[in-house]
Amino acid sequence: MRSLRDGRAIHLLDIENLTASPLPTTAEVEQTMSEYGQRVPVGPLDQFVVGVNPRSLVEVGRGICGAQILTRSGPDGADSVLTEVAIGDRIDLRFERVFIGSGDGYFADLVVWLATAGVRVTIVTRHGLLSWRLYVATGDITYLDTALAA
């Protein structure tokens, strides 16, 4: 019998972290998602969940189509809402692979929980934005701005 996880991936995106902007414009979101699509494999069964603060909702909504967009205000608002949904929706049982688009250390415990469940986790971030806690939680890291590192 085929597992519900087989061939499925979910992308949890802290879009403000990925754009390196607390209030990203639609153009910045579109540029970031273009870079993301060039560096990260996206399959036909993949799902996208985007965390954003309420002040950025309209700009992000214009720049990303087909994603579930979650909002929460305050420090770590996007991080906390993405983590709560991931755990509450038991993504460990439904997805073979998880991409976390953020460099925030807040996600380190989620990475450990997923890895313990046998889920392959990839962190997608930018140079200079990856926290030490997240760095040591996984060895699978993709940088959007690889041209800067060359």
Q: What is the pLDDT of residues 37-84, one digit of tens each?
A: 999 999 988 999 999 999 999 999 999 989 999 999 988 999 999 999
Residue 113 DSSP SS3: helix
Find out whether 59 and 22 touch, Cβ atoms under 8 Å: no
pLDDT at 96: 93
The domain spanning residue 32 has which CATH number?
Answer: 3.40.50.1010
Per-residue pLDDT, averaged over 13-27, amounts to: 95
**Domain region containing 45:** 9-149
Cα–Cα distance for residue pair 106/4, rounded to 1 Å: 27
Q: Is the pLDDT score of 150 beyond 50?
A: no
Residue 135 DSSP SS3: helix
Find out whether 98 and 121 touch, Cβ atoms under 8 Å: yes
**pTM exceeding the 0.85 threshold for the entire prediction:** yes
The enclosing H or E element of 53 equals none
pLDDT at 110: 98
pLDDT at 2: 56
pLDDT at 69: 96
Q: Is the pLDDT score of 130 beyond 60?
A: yes
Number of helices (H), then strands (E), in the chain: 8, 6
Q: Where do the DSSP E strands lie in 15-140?
A: 47-52, 68-71, 97-101, 120-125
pLDDT at 149: 46
Is residue 1 situated within a structural domain? Answer: no
Angle at CA of residue 104, ends 128 and 91, nearest 5°: 135
Report the DSSP beta bridge partners of residue 128: none
Is residue 21 situated within a structural domain? Answer: yes
Is residue 3 situated within a structural domain? Answer: no
In total, how many domains does the chain have? 1
Is residue 91 situated within a structural domain? Answer: yes
Is residue 62 situated within a structural domain? Answer: yes
Is residue 13 situated within a structural domain? Answer: yes
Is residue 141 situated within a structural domain? Answer: yes
Find out whether 92 and 114 touch, Cβ atoms under 8 Å: yes
pLDDT at 75: 86
Q: Tell me the pLDDT band of 7, cut-offs 50, 70 and 90.
A: confident
- Burial zone of 96 (CB within 10 Å; 0-12 exposed, 13-18 middle, 19+ buried): middle
pLDDT at 34: 95
Is residue 132 situated within a structural domain? Answer: yes
